[in-house]
Amino acid sequence: MGCSITTKFKNKPISDGTDEKSSQVIEINVQPGTFVQENEHHFNNVYRLGQLISSGPLVMLHACFNRETSLKRVVKIYRKDLITNEASKFAIEQEISILKSLDHPNIVRMLEFFEEVKRIYLVMEYCKGGDLFTELLSRPSFDEQKSAQVMEQLFAAVAYMHEHHIMHRNLKPENILLEEKHEILSIKVHHFGSARNFYGKKLISGQVGTSYYMAPEVISGEYNEKCDLWSCGVILYILLSGKPPFAGKNNDEILEKVKTGVYSLEEDPWPLISASAKDLIRKLLCPQKRRISAQEAHSHSWIVRRSEILPPSEELIHLVLSNLKSFHSTNTLRDAVHTFITSQCLSSKDTKALREVFRAMDLNGDGRLSRQELLQQYSIVMSPAEAELEVNKIMSEVDTDNSGFIDYTEFLKASIDSRVMLSTENLRYAFHMFDKDGSGTISLTELKRALEAEASDDRVWAQVLDQVDKNGDGQIDIEEFTNIVLSKIE
């Protein structure tokens, strides 16, 4: 998840003793997770703690505010004195590793973390709409359209997780956030403390999760990633009916009912619910071997028909297509800073319109844009031959990790208005992230640490520094940093 760096020559290298800097291009490739790092300062020196959001025996969730930028975040605080075994330590390490790897519009981003003597702090983006459980309390149930709109996003997020060999294991309305109050068209899955990596068809064990949403196989033995689809089925049942399919006076009673797998689709309000919605529930709340996948659930006819929303305006789509066409990746420090700002500084307000366009273009809901999905969009506004050429160019420029797809952050970075991305506040915050010791300048060591490239060749990195360090003092000051970000280094 760190940085890769290569040296390429624009023309034939100069070998007669003259300066080679003008003929070399130092390529730097970073991913959003590169910047999710341990902050070695004290948490309370960087953030001011806000109100308590929730608490449990091991962990607390608080709002917090960055002291320099005043940006509001959420911090998950673990008490280290209660982390008494290696399994618990590993679970937190895996939670951090998993969150670093995720890049999806319906999954919460982690921004950085702190480890101190008594506490571990995971800092994440803030969603001011609260959680889906609280939203459910404000209304008896959702109609089919709203339920489908929520579930379409949830299935997209789960399909993305499963594609990346991650099972959540604790999906429930409390762990689904709304970016805006009462706004169900932008949900985000969070709380990955129970999440685990899985490999192939190997089953895992361990009873985790919340009784109402726990799959029968999780209670009784070994299971695979489809335990998440059972939880999705319970959530859908609750959205449509306002009550859980398996209820009891206590956890033991609930778990016993879950193990039977028997639930009702006959009592009120189910006679009023469409046959298609009930068909999807039956395909989710069923034995593991017959249960459909997240991708199949996302493609279910009820989701496809009922989750439709007003598409973005043609003007906005054309603007995004134009921005993607004109985007040019330099693979330099400039692009690395752009990736940091896109993944860590932009607000939901900054990205709302682009998120809607991304969702409209992402036809299969897998959280990334394929070459075929791009071709479909560009073929509307130009000939097939022109679209083919344009998409080839876009893939070579925008797909900076060479995955064969345009990931969410790659899309945002290429399509957002540069005036929004490169605001004074964002540039200052980015500089502060690279300036680890707060000295007001960025050293070679700090540059390598910020890009997770401590093991890379110092000689190559010295050339990177040299391209930016115009006054030759061996450091990058705020003016030099701003210049490299706002313009291309040739």
pLDDT digits (tens, 9 = 90+) for 1-60: 555 544 443 333 434 444 444 445 556 778 889 899 999 999 999 999 999 999 888 899
Q: Which two structure tokens, joined as six digits, stand for 76? A: 């998950």
**How crowded is the C-beta side of 227, counted as CA atoms within 13 Å?**
34
One domain for residues 150 and 298: yes
Coil/strand/helix, residue 427: helix
**Can you tell me whether residue 17 is helix, strand or coil?**
coil
Asked if residue 155 lies in contact with residue 294, where contact means CB atoms within 8 angstroms, the answer is yes
pLDDT in tens, 107-146: 999 999 999 999 999 999 999 999 999 999 887 678 999 9
H helices present in 399-457, as ranges: 408-415, 418-421, 424-434, 444-450
436 compared with 281, residue with greater pLDDT: 281
Same domain flag for 178 and 239? yes
Q: Are 323 and 378 contacting, i.e. CB atoms less than 8 angstroms apart?
A: no
Best-predicted range by mean pLDDT (43-52, 64-73, 419-428): 43-52
CB neighbour list of residue 48: distance below 8 Å, 6 or more residues apart = 64, 65, 67
Same domain? 42 vs 57: yes
Point out which residues pair with 79 in neighbouring strands.
119
Residues 191 and 285 in one domain: yes
The residue from 402, 420, 438 where one domain ends is 420
| pLDDT greater than 60 at residue 488 | no
Residue 87 shares a structural domain with residue 167: no
Regarding whether 176 and 100 lie in a shared domain, the answer is no
Task: Round to whole Å and give the CA distance between 15 and 239.
Answer: 69
Instruction: Give the tokens for residue 29.
Output: 């490739």
Do 114 and 171 fall within a single domain?
Answer: no
Tell whether 277 and 413 lie within a shared domain: no
In terms of residue numbers, what domain contains 228? 132-306
pLDDT digits (tens, 9 = 90+) for 316-334: 999 999 999 999 877 578 8
pLDDT for residue 45: 96
Contact (Cβ atoms closer than 8 angstroms) between residue 2 and residue 34: yes
Please, how many CA atoms are within 13 Å of residue 204, restricted to the half-sphere of its CB?
19
Rounded to an integer, what distance in angstroms lies between the CA atom of residue 197 and that of residue 165?
5
- pLDDT (tens digit, 9 = 90+) per residue, 151-183? 999 999 999 999 999 999 999 999 999 999 888
414 and 330 in a common domain: yes
Considering only CA atoms, which of 104, 96, 234 is closest in space to residue 158?
104
Q: Is residue 433 part of a domain?
A: no
- Report CA-CA distances (Å) from 190 to 102, 104, 122, 170: 11, 12, 12, 10
Q: Write out pLDDT tens, residues 458-480.
A: 777 788 888 888 888 989 999 99
For residues 112 and 210, membership in a common domain is answered with no
In total, how many domains does the chain have? 3
Is residue 475 a part of any domain in this protein? no
